[in-house]
Structure 1
Amino acid sequence: MSWKKDEDSDDLGALMNLDHSVVLQEARVFNETPIRPRQSRLLLAKIVFLLYRGDPMSTTEATNLFFSITKLFQCKDMSLRQMVYLTIKELSTISEDVIMVTSSLMKDMQPTSEITYRANAIRALCKIVDPSMLPGIERFLKAAIVEKSATIASSSLVSSLHLFNEAKEVVRRWGNEVSEALNGKSLSQGSSSFFGGSSSQGQVVSTSNIVQYHAIGLLYAIRQHDRMAVLKLVQAFSGQQGKGSSGWMMGGGGSGSALRSNAAHVMLIRYAVRVMEGDGSLAPQLHGLLEEWIRHRSDMVSLEAARAVCQLRDVTDKQLTAAVNALQLFLSSPKAVVRFAAIRTLNALARTHPEAVQPCNVDMEGLITDGNRSVATFAITTLLKTGNEASVERLMKQMQGFMAEISDEFKIIVAEAVRSLCGKFPGKHALFLGFLSGVLRDEGGYEFKRAAIEAIVGLAKHVAECREVALGHLCEFIEDCEFTKLSVRVLHFLGEEGPATARPTVYIRHIYNRVVLENAVVRAAAVSALAKFGAAPSADAALLRSVRVLLARCLDDRDDEVRDRAAWGLRMTGAAEQTRSRYVRDDSAFLLPVLERRLVEYCADPRAKGARFDFGAVPRISRAQEEEARHRVRLDAMDHVLTGSALSPPPAAAAAAAAAAAAAAGGAKDDVPKGGAAAAAAAAVAAADETDRLARYARQLAAIPELAALGEQPLVSSQRAVELTEPETEYVVRCVKHVYERHIVFQFDVANTIAEQVLEQVEVAMESDDAGGALLPVVAMAIPVLRYDAPGTAYVAFERLTEDAATAASFACTLRFIVKECDPATGEPEDGDNGFGDDYSLEAVDLGPGDFMLPTYIPASDALWESLAESESVETFALSSFSGIEECVSKVADLLNMCPLDNALAPRSKAAHKAAFTGKWLGRAKTVARTRMAYQKGAGVTMELAVRSEDPAVSELVVSAIA
């Protein structure tokens, strides 16, 4: 069989034109005798290509093909056998009775077989074996894990990692073998020859290192739920670093480490970071290990450690020093990939710690002319974040020079960097607007144009002087915009900001042009924008008359959505000011996921048929907070993708709440680091997450008969979990407080960390002298059996005898249980062991007024404050223990447990600050708290707290939370 290359076609031409039915017909060659290895191998390659391409294959076709291929086991050709293994693995998921090939694979797994046979047979067998059959081949896999051949050991470890998802308990028993593979002194060099050749050919260099990489991954999977075991794993291989230097950069270190694989070191760093995220008390100890890894001789390990330090939560500039110094050295590396990794990490760090990155400015200046445009782009955008106002203009000009040479992905980074500068250097607004309007005229995709639009919108909101110029650029953009979503976004913004300008008629002309020239979606958005001009308080009679004429013309539009909006606009522009303010200019919105869930629950509840839906129970947040939440989520997602973060992404619940809160908004607000909008958005997201978490707890508690019997609905608040023990103790306990109108439920999550013990009848005894008899214990639920690494939950419930009873109390808590010795492998107690009772002291649980408050964003809080003047309670406090305004306001927010407004959590002055908070007492009484703080060095913080509530008694109770 001969081949002749066609120079007019590409190398994949023959494969791209494969026909499914023709390949299946050619499969008859597998049944021929004698077997033709070369033809069979090429046909197998075609089958695999069809599968990878996604061509559908019926179960019958796949099964017939599968058993035809198994006949090729009779051929000893090594390259053909490798293709057989690969094809069997791919067909096993859609074929029937694949278990029939087990005997052939088991034969190839024998110790006397070729290395290549054994390694590939293990991979194929683990792909097709049923979890119930795994104990039958367990001894083969355990032996393969500790095999001297790195090829066999690695294939067995990776296969075990895949099997772990289906048979966790079986794979967990292989921990000793995995540890032996990880600690192996030396493994023989395996061989790999894909298309033919004997085992003596194709020696793989340093394959023993990859065994350590796979072994540490499997060992972590086995121990990942045991935090102390993971900590020991990290500490076991972190004592020594390799000697020597790596290329251009001299590295420190000590004697040889047990880990010789750089990839394994990278994984170890990531595991260390996860331990730090889970237990903050271990952060100082593990941070020292990260600094040691920063000095590792391998560039890869050093970069990973530096990036991990830069991405730690609440990291200080002092802790960043070692990482930044190492990254600064990497900026001068002759390897482009090392320079790229270093500058990318510094770029992400500059968004939160610009001062820490400033020492690298000189080195980054030299990268502006780097031949790699990706490196140059990151260098300029990082300098924009860390530089001063004098250098911005020069950097912007340099950036304009190569915008056409970079991809949209990096153009988006540039647009986001310029957007962040809008808040930092408002005096340069003309320069920023000129640059952004220029890039809007260039070619680019949707995401890039959207980023530029949001930057202009942010600048217009943040800098009032340039608002009309920015609106003019946006009007020019929608005249020739190919993206419907962006036209809608701009029209929405024109409707929000245009009515307040000196010449609103200029923008009305541009908006009405969209009604005439665009598609139905854009026309509908344009009609809504026109209605906002007519409903504005500043609209004079002539403007209102003109808007109503334009809206009347839209009543004849061919699209019903446009007609409906036009009719609504005519009605609103002719309504009273109060009606227009409520329905057109309302600056708040429902949190859509919570609204959806409450509506579903309302429709499913037969008792609610005769009652009106309670919209007051659905949280609302402002549009500005929605927009900022959306922008922060997008920035975090972009950082996670661009930096390849080793850290976990933001918690799913918080991210989902932020994204959902932003869904109703048309865009995002300017990004002002640590500014009021960002703090308000964070507070809104936190309040949204609080409500979502409250609903989850309510469903969980309602499913417990003993608690459901209390008859309490709805759940008022559920506080964040409080740790009652140290994380490294033998019993780990945390408490969650659930407050109902008449009851308080304490939820205790308990974990047993001792494998040789099983606990029975685990309960928490609570005693308090502070409640004055106002709390009556009504429910105490114990955990029947608490095994190792299987957390359980105990509950204690109290009834509040009067409505204003026990808003402050302290409970002494003791964990009581029966201890029995058990077999660590099975978790079952030993026969005849009756156990013995034991007590374990826990930290006290405090109950305060903040526990009865539901953090809630309340629209028009200023008007509410004025209406509640008669129920005000005011107190002045001398708080000498606080070292600054920021620390004080953070503590006050925790004690009040209310939703911060505006820049409450982001003081702009170190000497004085004002903050406002809103919430609902017991979920019903709207409450507003305002503070004024003044800081004097040596004297601490003096604070005045004023609280007003719909329930006058609540005002005094909230003030007492500070006292």
Structure 2
Amino acid sequence: MSSFKRDKKEEEDSGGNPYQNLDKTIVLQEARYFNQTPVNPRKCCLILSKVLYLLNQGEKFTTQEATEAFFATTKLFQSKDVMLRRMVYLCIKELSTLAQDVIIVTSSLTKDMTGKEDLYRAAAIRALCSITDSTMLQAIERYMKQAIVDKNPAVSSAALVSALHLSSTAPDLVRRWANEAQEAISSDNPMVSYHALGVVAGSRKNDKLSTVKLVTRLARSPLKSPYALCLLIRLAAQLVEDDDSEASQPYIEFIECCLRHKSEMVIYEAAHAIVNLRKTARDLAPAVSVLQLFCGSSKASLRLAGARTLARLTAKHPTAVAACAVDLENLISDPNRSVATLAVTTLLATGAESSVDRLMKQISSFVSEISDEFKIVVVRAIRRLCTKFPRKHQSLAAFLAGMLRDEGGLEYKAAIADAIIALVEENPDAKETGLAHLCEFIEDCEHTALAVRILHLLGREGPKSRQPSRYIRFIYNRVILESGPVRAAAVSAVAQFGAQRPELLPNISVLLSRCQLDDEDEVRDRAIYFSAILETGDQQLINDYIINVSKPNPVLLEKALRDHIATRPEEPFDINAVPTEEEPKENKEAIVEIEVRKPVQVSMEEMYAEQLSKIAGIERLGPVFKTNNPVDLTEAETEYRVRLIKHIFGRHVVLQFECVNTLSDQVLEDVHVRLECPPEYEVKSITPCQKLVYDKPDSVFVIVEYPSAFLDSLGTFGASLEFTVRDCDPNTGVPDPGEGYADNYPLEEFEMGCADQIRARAATDDWEQTWERAANAPEASDTFILSQNDINDAAKAVCEHLGLPKNAIIGEAVKEIRGGGIFRGGAPVLVRARLAGGSAGITMKLASRSPREDIAQLLLAAVG
């Protein structure tokens, strides 16, 4: 153990990072020292530390470099120094993913794994399992089983954690170790018990009945390990979520019982589970009481956990949290500013209008002391207040404007701008105030993306304000003072004023003519483009190309352009066939969530683009028009699960049947789908799935051509899955000898409706003008008696049939549906429906306008 000691002088030397300026080439040359005999363990440890540092800093090692370093490291197996040997194991594990022929050290690691030196054994197990592939694992299976039940907790934990990692690559093999892991659950060591439960639960994750038995058995005899108990609570909560019937009551009782456990970790896990499961405030009372006690704890970690969980609970059950108001107010002065922030934002979300000013004053006292991360939490809470208490918009907007002038990063400033923009859009009384604050901010805004966004808002909302001319000065200043992207955005914003306010058009034309002399191409092109459109005076043209311009998804637009150039460059490109960019939907429940990284918004079309690209000749179909949400064609618990994704093109539909084989003793080969199509539909090609192995999804693609007449496109399809079954070893997945036998599996019928073929949207602000401008287009109208008894249900059902979003519904006693969209092929369509209740039921008058009369009639046929 003397090798663990360090010199006093070494401990005193502290300053800077000794590895800061490492050079990979020099370090690899130093590694050649490992070939000498004898070696200096201290020097070797230093060199290995440098190699590990470079690897963990993201330094790229070539295969040859990694292989040379790997085999040089293996020479150190002859050393008996404990510190050096442990560094060797670490280095082998890190280099094994980059180097070649790493299997050669398997015998050395196996020897150390089964030796008597416990300090070697645990590290050797981790290294061995990281370098051994699934085919070689069977050779060490016996040793792994012994290690799982070893008396040394470090060895047992290392084996169990390695099994958890291996479960993703060799699940069938790890499943055979479940008996040993089951035995290790009862270990006195908390970490061994926790890791063992993880292995056992992981091996049963696809078998719900086995998981139920495991949780039921362990819930009756509570575990000693608090870590394992926390995992068991999560498993029980998952079973409750999956089955909300009376059968789940024992699991709820078990979780509630854990609220009285002696470990604070277990208590919090139980309270957290209840908060996420319960739907009524009364059921939440035990968990809220525990969290309330946490808020008064002397430990900062418990106060933070209690405050944060109560803050999240505010989204669904503000009344349940209101009972903790006194405890939360005590936390406002907490020395931990994270706790104070959460307490204040929770009180803001649950308090009365009269307490807002007092709480805002308390926030201002410490907002400069907290990080941007928690400032964003405060801003999001204030944003909800703007919606909750619209009469407080003056003070709230002033507070946000003050925060906007403070120092901060882009994300922090963007959160404040989002809050003010939401205030402007939701509260007409606050529009002038909010726009004034944003105008003041862009005078000194250093973030280009934020300035562009605010200019876009000024262009959209400014023309609708009482004094639109006052904003033009702020916008035009950007043309004079800012960078190219900001100047281009300012030109677009100025054009909006000219398009929507005719009295300002002469002045706007002068400004746009000046912009035509700009140094930047984009700015000049926009100015010339907008000037030409405004000079025509054609209101339809101005509306389509300045006011209400559809924005195609940039990723799919690029792909569609590439496919168009590659397949049919001589034909005109139809931009209407490209899906538009969807607005990201805000998570209404995340009242005070702390989330630094925003999730990337990916459309359905982007999500499946790579899978579709594998179909031969797919580019000849043109750009994908729309991808619909998946539809299940089988029950959840059947032996084969199939769901359908419909990819709509201009004249074709690609039906993607996503299949999962849930039988571990079967392999399905040559899997394809037999369709029973409605008349006029024609199947063009089928791309089968060559092999469907256990629990790994794969897809069958069927390309079907639409009928030439739009009205014939509505219909019902029948389908069955056809395949060749081959029995296999459930542990290895290797098929038995023989050719197998043919079989089929019936699937549920599915429909091709109007909603599948239309990219719809709700009405915009100028809906009436848009409807009137389409007065000369062909119109189809009819009156319907709907089967629903409730007018709200009826309106939602109509929207579902037509593919319109729910926010297309307006009105109270008399419901009106206003919307429109683009039909496949690029033809626009507008829909208007009025619903009223009467003695005979719900009556609806539906009207549809489109340049294509058959499309207008199709929308009526979809409802009828």
- The residue that corresponds to 1:667 in the other structure is none
**C-alpha separation in 2, matches of 1:341 and 1:576:** 61
**C-alpha separation in 2, matches of 1:518 and 1:872:** 51
Residue 289 (str. 1) matches residue 246 (str. 2): no
Residue 10 (str. 1) matches residue 1 (str. 2): no
Instruction: Note if contact 1:774-1:805 (Cα within 8 Å) is conserved in structure 2.
Output: no
How big is the shift at 1:602? Answer: 0.7
519-528 or 382-391, larger mean C-alpha shift: 519-528
- The residue that corresponds to 2:447 in the other structure is 483
Deviations 1:905-931 (A, max 9, x none): 6x785x553322434556555443333
- The residue that corresponds to 2:808 in the other structure is 904
- The residue that corresponds to 1:944 in the other structure is 844
**C-alpha separation in 1, matches of 2:109 and 2:608:** 53
Residue 576 (str. 1) matches residue 557 (str. 2): no
Amino-acid identity (%): 40
Residue 929 (str. 1) matches residue 831 (str. 2): yes
**C-alpha separation in 2, matches of 1:484 and 1:783:** 48
- The residue that corresponds to 2:265 in the other structure is 300
- The residue that corresponds to 1:126 in the other structure is 129
Residue 211 (str. 1) matches residue 203 (str. 2): no
SS in 2 for 1:174: helix
**C-alpha separation in 1, matches of 2:671 and 2:339:** 58
Pick from 723, 727, 737: which aligns with 2:636?
Answer: 727
**C-alpha separation in 1, matches of 2:613 and 2:63:** 43
Instruction: Note if contact 1:900-1:915 (Cα within 8 Å) is conserved in structure 2.
Output: no
Q: Are residues 817 and 25 of structure 1, via their aligned partners in 2, closer, same or farther at CA, if it must alter by over 3 Å?
A: closer
- The residue that corresponds to 1:113 in the other structure is 116
Instruction: Note if contact 2:763-2:808 (Cα within 8 Å) is conserved in structure 1.
Output: no
- The residue that corresponds to 2:380 in the other structure is 416
**C-alpha separation in 2, matches of 1:26 and 1:744:** 61
Instruction: Note if contact 1:762-1:816 (Cα within 8 Å) is conserved in structure 2.
Output: yes
Instruction: Note if contact 2:312-2:590 (Cα within 8 Å) is conserved in structure 1.
Output: no
- The residue that corresponds to 1:238 in the other structure is 215
Instruction: Note if contact 1:498-1:507 (Cα within 8 Å) is conserved in structure 2.
Output: yes
SS in 2 for 1:874: strand
- The residue that corresponds to 1:74 in the other structure is 78
Instruction: Note if contact 1:712-1:741 (Cα within 8 Å) is conserved in structure 2.
Output: yes
Pick from 607, 612, 630: which aligns with 2:572?
Answer: 612
Aligned residues: 852
- The residue that corresponds to 2:389 in the other structure is 425
How big is the shift at 1:762? Answer: 7.4
Q: Are residues 107 and 791 of structure 1, via their aligned partners in 2, closer, same or farther at CA, if it must alter by over 3 Å?
A: closer
**C-alpha separation in 1, matches of 2:334 and 2:717:** 64
Q: Are residues 924 and 353 of structure 1, via their aligned partners in 2, closer, same or farther at CA, if it must alter by over 3 Å?
A: farther
- The residue that corresponds to 1:372 in the other structure is 336
- The residue that corresponds to 2:173 in the other structure is 173
Structure 2 gaps of 5+ residues are none
- The residue that corresponds to 1:676 in the other structure is none
Structure 1 gaps of 5+ residues are 189-204, 242-253, 658-688
Instruction: Note if contact 1:861-1:928 (Cα within 8 Å) is conserved in structure 2.
Output: no
- The residue that corresponds to 2:352 in the other structure is 388
Q: Are residues 785 and 849 of structure 1, via their aligned partners in 2, closer, same or farther at CA, if it must alter by over 3 Å?
A: same
Q: Are residues 841 and 881 of structure 1, via their aligned partners in 2, closer, same or farther at CA, if it must alter by over 3 Å?
A: farther
How big is the shift at 1:427? Answer: 1.0
Deviations 1:313-351 (A, max 9, x none): x96767766655654454344432233223323333434
Pick from 818, 833, 838: which aligns with 1:916?
Answer: 818
**C-alpha separation in 2, matches of 1:918 and 1:534:** 26
Amino acid at match of 2:537: A
- The residue that corresponds to 1:256 in the other structure is 221
**C-alpha separation in 2, matches of 1:435 and 1:347:** 22
Which runs of structure 2 are paired with 1:217-232 in the superposition (5 Å)?
Answer: 220=202, 226=206, 229=207, 231-232=208-209
Instruction: Note if contact 2:240-2:251 (Cα within 8 Å) is conserved in structure 1.
Output: no
SS in 1 for 2:329: helix
Instruction: Note if contact 1:878-1:942 (Cα within 8 Å) is conserved in structure 2.
Output: yes
367-376 or 290-299, larger mean C-alpha shift: 290-299
Which runs of structure 2 are paired with 1:2-151 in the superposition (5 Å)?
Answer: 3=7, 5=9, 10=14, 12=16, 14=18, 16=20, 35-38=39-42, 40-42=44-46, 44-53=48-57, 66-93=70-97, 98-110=102-114, 112-129=115-132, 133-151=136-154
Q: Give me the CA root mean square deviation.
A: 4.8
SS in 2 for 1:877: strand
381-390 or 428-437, larger mean C-alpha shift: 381-390
How big is the shift at 1:45? Answer: 3.9
How big is the shift at 1:421? Answer: 2.0
- The residue that corresponds to 1:632 in the other structure is 586
823-832 or 154-163, larger mean C-alpha shift: 823-832
**C-alpha separation in 2, matches of 1:780 and 1:583:** 41
**C-alpha separation in 1, matches of 2:612 and 2:31:** 60
Pick from 877, 886, 891: which aligns with 2:797?
Answer: 891
- The residue that corresponds to 1:656 in the other structure is 602
Which runs of structure 2 are paired with 1:443-454 in the superposition (5 Å)?
Answer: 443-454=407-418
SS in 1 for 2:842: strand
Which runs of structure 2 are paired with 1:431-442 in the superposition (5 Å)?
Answer: 431-442=395-406
Which runs of structure 2 are paired with 1:328-407 in the superposition (5 Å)?
Answer: 328-351=292-315, 354=318, 357-407=321-371
Which runs of structure 2 are paired with 1:528-927 in the superposition (5 Å)?
Answer: 528-540=492-504, 544-545=506-507, 547-551=508-512, 553-554=514-515, 557-568=518-529, 571=532, 574-576=535-537, 578=539, 579-605=541-567, 608-620=568-580, 629-630=583-584, 632=586, 639=593, 641=595, 655-657=601-603, 689=604, 720-735=629-644, 749-756=658-665, 788-789=694-695, 803=709, 823-825=729-731, 843-845=748-750, 850=755, 853=758, 855=760, 862=768, 865-866=771-772, 867=774, 871-882=779-790, 885=792, 887-896=793-802, 898-900=803-805, 903-904=807-808, 909=812, 911-920=813-822, 923=825, 926-927=828-829
- The residue that corresponds to 2:160 in the other structure is 157
**C-alpha separation in 1, matches of 2:11 and 2:744:** 83
**C-alpha separation in 2, matches of 1:620 and 1:264:** 48
Amino acid at match of 2:808: A
**C-alpha separation in 2, matches of 1:82 and 1:927:** 70
173-182 or 361-370, larger mean C-alpha shift: 361-370
Instruction: Note if contact 2:380-2:591 (Cα within 8 Å) is conserved in structure 1.
Output: no
**C-alpha separation in 2, matches of 1:90 and 1:695:** 34
Instruction: Note if contact 1:712-1:742 (Cα within 8 Å) is conserved in structure 2.
Output: yes
232-241 or 743-752, larger mean C-alpha shift: 743-752
Instruction: Note if contact 1:295-1:302 (Cα within 8 Å) is conserved in structure 2.
Output: no
**C-alpha separation in 2, matches of 1:309 and 1:331:** 17
